[in-house]
Amino acid sequence: MADEKELFRVRLDKRHSLEEAGVDPYPTRFDRDTTASEVHDQFDELVAEERSVSIAGRLMTIRRMGKASFANVKDRSGVIQIYMKLDFVGEEAYKIWKKIEAGDLIGVRGTPFRTRAGEISLQVSGFELLAKSLRPLPEKWHGLRDKETRYRQRYVDLIVNPEVLQVFERRARLVTTIRKYLDDRGFLEVETPVLQPLYGGASARPFTTHHNALNMKLYLRIADELYLKRLIAGGCERVYEISKDFRNEGIDKTHNPEFTQMELYEAFSDYNDMMRIVEEMMREIALELHGTTSITFAGRTNDLAEPWKRLSFVDALSESIGRDVMEMTNKELRAECDQRNIDLPDHSSNGMILAELFDHLVEPGILDPTFVIDFPKEISPLAKERRDRPGVVERFEPYLCGMEIGNAFSELNDPIEQRKRFEAQVALRGPEGEEAQQLDEDYIRALEYGMPPTGGLGIGIDRISMVFTDQQSIRDVILFPLLRPEQASPGGSEE
RNA sequence: GGGCCGUUAGCUCAGUCGGUAGAGCACCUGCCUUUUAAGCAGGCUGUCGCAGGUUCGAUCCCUGCACGGCUCACCA
């Protein structure tokens, strides 16, 4: 009587008997004039005016006491208790009420009152079934705990775990804050292609697809960068895009194959301006979401009112190794890795080895809000070289709460130099070569027309959503994180 | 990809030193017109993730697989 099929059947039976009683289990609409939280907030006025209100939501729990019942109705704003009394709704309605169960969506009319225990409630005068639920809700006290089910059936997670919606509401406000910040400063929001014949702007393996009518291979973008800078060349001066990028790489607590990135480009600026933007933007998000510049992530608190630290990539690494890393040969750098049991691909260039060493030796110690600057030129093909310091570029990666949250440069706008850098990248491609950037002739043509000096910045929206909601896994700030299929598809295991 | 851990009722979880399993919630029946994890009385509920192996007997032991979590690696 209570296995899954039986529970489903009992609910189907209820649906049928409701239909026999003339109740439409899936009516088209319901006029509600208020929400659960508004009833709480405006209680005194509503009572003074003896107002009747209507709300709509999901029945979460029911406490039946013969000829009267209490129940909790949940809508997006919160929960309100309703009081259903036979004397008030009449015998016919109460008979129907008995067929209504937890999980069903209902619309309710009633007058606000306070129970003996002092809880604000609605004395129900009438109600309507809005949608019949055919599946039982998870446990009312513990909710839904199983992470796999929570991610796969996010709808159930949202129904029973109220804190989940709060995270995503915050994420939405975070994005709104960024948009407002940029719109207020004259940035133009644009949309550039997701399907690209060449991928670029980052180093990552792409997803590939095929367009039938044009019979051409296409890539899902790994970055928006090269298209946005074409717009800067076109005179748009200040542009930004907030959208999904796709990288065909592993999945872990800070990586999902599709993720949201904000990229902005500002003509006549450089990377120092970008640092200022990051500081201001993060401060505004903190104030908007938390009302304070102080944020806590994983138990550690940072104050965003202060300027961020600057840490030189090459200096910090040189200090850690005890030698100027820019002076070292490929062989010497490899020796440093061997000594520390750091594995390297065979074709690793100096720059790639430096990045590897940095990740192991320096990055773990970056806890305060920090701009890592002075990246090796070799691993930064789109950034301008520092005039006062050859070999390193005007680039930074912002770190917040120990996480790399973005990437920014003074954009390289010399087409001759850009071609050389692309060619160097192509030469560095390994046997598979999919991570290295492709030579984008049209992008170089755009630079040949002339692109103003430009500062560019990319910020990982998922990562900063983690920071500002104190979630330690990227899956908890993505509504539908990528998981393997629930059931292995028959014959679909060719790898 | 490696290591560790998990997978038992719709949900949250116990448990079986190998003899096919339990609680709470949910559900069903009855009582109950201010309850709130409502209460009281009674009842139902399982391919113990999947497939093999060992065994008289496996949910438990072994092997493989699937999915998930953590972690390391990969990934500028």
Among chain A residues 190 through 219, which have CB within 7 angstroms of nucleic chain B? 202-205
User: Is there a single domain that holds both residue A123 and residue A171?
Assistant: no
A94 touches strand B (CB under 7 A): no
Kindly list the distances between the CA atom of residue A393 and the CA atoms of A164, A192, A271, A373, A385, in Å, as whole numbers in the listed order: 41, 27, 10, 8, 4
Nearest residue: Cα versus C1' of B28? A1
The protein residue nearest B65 (Cα–C1') is A488
Q: Does A359 map to a domain? A: no
The string of DSSP codes covering A342-375 is: ----TT--HHHHHHHHHHHHTGGG--SSEEEEEE
Separation of A405 CA and B25 C1' (Å): 42
Q: CATH code at A70?
A: 2.40.50.140
Structure tokens at A16: 């049928």
Residue pair A313/A356 in contact by the 8 Å Cβ criterion:
no
- How far is it between the farthest Cα atoms of chain A? 90
pLDDT tens figures, A305-344: 999 999 999 999 999 999 999 999 998 998 888 888 888 8
Structurally, chain A folds into a number of domains equal to 2
Q: What is the pLDDT of residues A444-454, one digit of tens each?
A: 999 999 999 99
Report residues 222-261 of A contacting strand B, contact meaning Cβ closer than 7 Å: 247, 249-250, 252-253, 255
Report the protein residue whose CA lies nearest the C1' of nucleotide B73: A343
Q: What is the ipTM of this complex?
A: 0.92
Name the residue with higher pLDDT: A352 or A281: A281
What would the pLDDT profile of A217-254 be if each residue is shown by its tens digit? 999 999 999 999 999 999 999 999 999 999 998 899 99
In angstroms, the CA of A4 and the C1' of B18 are apart by: 30
Q: How far is the CA of A397 from the C1' of B71 (A)?
A: 26
> Is the residue at A434 inside a domain?
yes
Q: In chain B, which nucleotides are within 7 Å of a protein Cβ?
A: 1, 6, 9-13, 24-28, 31-39, 43-47, 66-76
Q: Is the pLDDT of residue A353 over 50?
A: yes
Question: Can you give the pLDDT at residue A73?
Answer: 98
Residues A409 and A455 in one domain: yes
Q: How far is the CA of A315 from the C1' of B66 (A)?
A: 48
The per-residue pLDDT for A233 is: 98
- Residues A195, A265, single domain; the answer is yes
Among residues A60, A61, A52, the alpha carbon closest in space to that of A32 is found at A52
Task: Tell me: do A194 and A257 sit in the same domain.
Answer: yes
* Per-residue confidence band for A488, with pLDDT thresholds at 50, 70 and 90: very low
Domain that holds residue A68: 4-137
